Structure 1
Amino acid sequence: MTATKPSRMNIYLLAGVATSNSIFTECKIKLEKLFQSDGIDPAIHVIFPYGDASRNLVRQVLEVRSDLSNRLTAGRIGGQHALAKIKETFSGERMLLIGHSGGGAAAYQAAKMLHEQEKVEDFRIVQVGSPRTPIDPKLQSHVSYFHSIDSLGKLNDPISRIGTWGGWSRDRYTMPRWNRMKYAPGYVEGIPMVGGHADYFRHTEDYADQEAVCNLDKTVDRVRGWLKGWV
């Protein structure tokens, strides 16, 4: 009997501003094991759309701002850089992009441009602790968003408060009203984290809860849950 060949998937991990080169080291290991157990051959790539921690912080922040808008005049600098890097390795397989902080904005912009260029059809985008980037309604079902919450379930990551998903909505019989979720990702979930904005992918005991579950496991498990049915 011939064994079934594992399906191929390109996975791109996109970092935010002022990020160390080791941010995704343990995440890559965990993702490889999980996807392989699901019969998938993952090719995992790390991208720094705005440069790493050695680059000027102010320039990086300004570039993130260019990725938070869907206006045609927006520069989408991080998205453009991520797109160029993705094209170096992507050859039409299924594609998963996971972006932390500003990397989540760059991930969306890069995937949107690939989709508009008809280079990719089967893809998913995960934004983790990212600024709020307006999502095209046609792509909302392709995008998920995870953010840190406190013990009361309230958002406690200040970066997740930046930007907006809002827009005006109306029908034939009512006055326009502001809908704060009009351009939100299709799935939004809070995760109780130990630490702050930079700690979603921490895996040591210092970043584990009372049940010894670390931040990395929480983040990846939530992502895997959302991907169930697609993977």
Structure 2
Amino acid sequence: MSSGGAAKGEVSLYLLAGLATAPLFMEGFRVALHGQLAREGYDVTASELLFPYGTWSRNVLPQIWEIGRDMQRGPRRSARSIGGRRTLAAIGESRLRRGHDAASGGGRTIFIGHSGGGVAAVHAAMHLLEHDDSGLSPIVVMIGSPRCRIPEQLRPSVLYVYATNAGAPASGGKITDAICKLGTFGGWGGGIGRSGESVMKAGRSFLPGWNHNKYGPDGACGVPIIGWHPDYFREQAPYVNGMGLTNKWLTLHAVWEWLRGKI
């Protein structure tokens, strides 16, 4: 908990929804995280829920196609991301409505993306990192997202959250969210073994091999929620464990424990 006092700095908080999402699906989580940031002394200059691929009122087939295309974009092609560009456009429009320059910042930018929204968040964050001269890297949290290749410069600022079986430790447990098994963080790299480590021996390396985490996030955390992909933010029965903790609380706790060390 915060001890009060002067604001620690400005932050802009954007939650990005995924495929065919209900308009208020992530709203409770946004309010909770906004409140946590404010209690810790941060000046939250923006706090919004965005839909880079549309809500459930839009035809689902174009949404699936767009997310699939964005998942396949390599680090050098993130500027062409459909969801990423829509996210940046929405942020620009929001800043104009608040009377700010569309290109101006609001301190550290935090993206929280669920499902396909996590892919759009990576691409939008990379654009900001390349074009913002503030020196503050955007922060990205991917929750229940398909895997996509994350540019090297952004990897230290990305957390990947996935559902595990209830009772599993945060560092382990079987992934119970099938969406988290889609896509890849992998890439070809010289001298890489099956576990991703370097395999230099006697000054020589093996032939280039597949590194399953070459473009993966530096941070990853399993959350032992009840349910799977659509259930990270549930806060009512039956999504309450034996200790009385809701899925939303477990997800928020995991995100905040990592986030507080990055801002």
Shift of 1:85: 0.9
- Tell me, what secondary structure is at the counterpart of 1:205? coil
- The answer as to whether partners of 1:14 and 1:100 remain within 8 angstroms in 2 is yes
TM-score normalized by structure 2? 0.82
Shift of 1:28: 2.1
Shift of 1:73: 8.8
Matching residue of 2:22: 20
Provide the rounded CA distance (Å) in 1 between the counterparts of 2:9 and 2:260.
Answer: 16
Provide the rounded CA distance (Å) in 1 between the counterparts of 2:241 and 2:9.
Answer: 35
Pairing partner for 2:92 from 58, 62, 87: 87
- Tell me, what secondary structure is at the counterpart of 1:138? coil
Matching residue of 1:202: 234
Pairing partner for 2:213 from 181, 197, 200: 181
Matching residue of 1:76: 81
- The answer as to whether partners of 1:67 and 1:74 remain within 8 angstroms in 2 is no
Matching residue of 2:55: 52
**Paired positions, count:** 229
Unaligned runs of at least 5 residues, structure 1: none
Q: What amino acid maps onto 1:217 in structure 2?
A: W
- The answer as to whether partners of 1:98 and 1:104 remain within 8 angstroms in 2 is yes
Matching residue of 2:129: 115
Unaligned runs of at least 5 residues, structure 2: 96-101, 192-203
Shift of 1:220: 1.0
**Cα separation, partners in 2 of 1:120 and 1:126, compared to 1, 3 Å:** farther
Give the superposed CA RMSD.
1.8
Q: Does 1:142 align with 2:157?
A: yes
**Cα separation, partners in 2 of 1:41 and 1:154, compared to 1, 3 Å:** same
Larger Rg computed on CA atoms: 2
Matching residue of 1:161: 181
- The answer as to whether partners of 2:79 and 2:123 remain within 8 angstroms in 1 is no
Provide the rounded CA distance (Å) in 2 between the counterparts of 1:77 and 1:212.
Answer: 40
Shift of 1:195: 1.4
TM-score normalized by structure 1? 0.92
Provide the rounded CA distance (Å) in 1 between the counterparts of 2:60 and 2:133.
Answer: 32
Provide the rounded CA distance (Å) in 2 between the counterparts of 1:181 and 1:126.
Answer: 17
- Tell me, what secondary structure is at the counterpart of 2:88? helix
Q: What amino acid maps onto 2:57 in structure 1?
A: S
- The answer as to whether partners of 2:159 and 2:217 remain within 8 angstroms in 1 is yes
Give the share of equivalent positions with the same residue, in percent: 38
Provide the rounded CA distance (Å) in 2 between the counterparts of 1:164 and 1:5.
Answer: 39
Matching residue of 2:38: 36
